[in-house]
Structure 1
């Protein structure tokens, strides 16, 4: 599975939102299924750039 940086995701999303290309074209260019790109776009539209930040937390105490 290929990992994408936040910048790569936002670049693909911006291409779509600017009307440069459709989901299928952009997805094929970057190597993901078009439904994954649709998911990213919806996430971005709802949360903005914060949607792709990792939220890590540390558990305290013994597990």
Structure 2
């Protein structure tokens, strides 16, 4: 029990040390990344919507 508590403390201290090494994006970079993600989501949504309509039309034509 004692050993697992020490390893848990060690895990969190090592994790905190790794987080200090991370280069976090500034506000401008974060805004750009967010816009890229949202744009990609919109494009992919439109793509799958068009594919869904096409598949539905094909199935309706068969039936």
TM-score normalised by structure 2 residue count: 0.24
Larger Rg: 2
Q: In proportion to residue count, which structure has more helix?
A: 2
TM-score normalised by structure 1 residue count: 0.24
